[in-house]
Structure 1
């Protein structure tokens, strides 16, 4: 398992990295996937906007873009770009804590790599249910004693 966190021009202030990695791994296992390499890249609105324009031909801000690089069924290999600017803004709009919104977006990207879509209303509802289940798991997930917070 290789889950990495990178920052491009912005600080994510992500904490509990070890717990988050365990959580992401558990969700992937539950969905019958094994993580090979998963890179989370935290960036600014402008950075993600350029990716959106160049790779998806969309000239809009977004909170997340997921690139699936998996070669084999049941394995996850991908890059997930997350705009910290959007996460902060969305947490204000939704009246949630920044940390909570960041976790939701982290798992949203993983769910995309597990095959979940959110193009139509039915897909969006399913995605939200899966996000909620994952968020509940995070709250109840214990980290073994002596495990570093990295």
Structure 2
């Protein structure tokens, strides 16, 4: 069971890595899943754009792309690519902190790996509700455990 963080084509270090790992495991557990190997790769807009074009044939920029590598039911394995630049832009647009937007996007990737979709409007509504629940869980961990510097 490993949750790993990498960077590609950008300098970025996630704060509070251990807290984030606990939080991701908690979200999975609440949905009846276990995390096998989960990789979060923080990258530039251009890096993620190239992945979008090459692997998904989408000629657009995005904040996240998730690849599901799971082979067993209820065991999460995957790679989640996140554009730091796009997350910063979205935080400004949505008038939320970068940290809150990062939490939302990280949970979004995990939710995809648990089977949640977001192509149809009704699926997007459910996805957003689940993201909001995940953010609340993260915030509660901050209150109950205090700030942890990993």
TM-score range with shorter-chain normalisation?
A: over 0.9
Match of 1:132 in 2: 132
Q: State whether residues 88 and 98 of structure 1, in contact with CA within 8 Å, keep that contact through their aligned partners in structure 2.
A: yes
State the shift of 1:139 in Å: 0.8
Give how far 1:85 is off. Answer: 0.8
Once the 2 structures are TM-superposed, how far is the Cα of residue 10 of structure 1 from its aligned partner? Answer: 1.4
Partner of 1:122: 122
Question: How many angstroms apart in 1 are the aligned matches of 2:12 and 2:120?
Answer: 30
1:14 match: secondary structure: coil
Q: Which residues of structure 1 form unaligned runs of 5+?
A: none
Q: Name the counterpart of 1:97.
A: 97
Change over 3 Å in CA distance of 1:85–1:22 after alignment to 2: same
Which of the pair is proportionally richer in helix? 2
- TM-score by length of structure 2 reads 0.94
In structure 1, the residue matched to 2:52 is 52
Distance 1:39 1:13 in 2: 14
2 CA distance for matches of 1:55 and 1:104?
24
TM-score (norm 1): 0.94
Matched, 1:4 2:4: yes
What's the offset of the Cα at 1:144?
Answer: 9.0
- Quickly say closer, same or farther: Cα 1:94–1:37, change in 2 above 3 A: same
Comparing 128-137 and 11-20, the one that deviates more:
11-20
| Residue 106 (str. 1) matches residue 102 (str. 2) | no
Partner of 1:17: 17
Q: Hey, what does 2:83 align to over in structure 1?
A: 83
Report how many aligned residue pairs link the two structures. Answer: 148
The CA RMSD over aligned residues, in Å, is 1.5
Q: Distance in 1 between matches of 2:42 and 2:25?
A: 19
Pick which of 133-142 and 114-123 moved more: 133-142
Query: Any gaps of 5 or more consecutive residues in structure 2?
Result: none
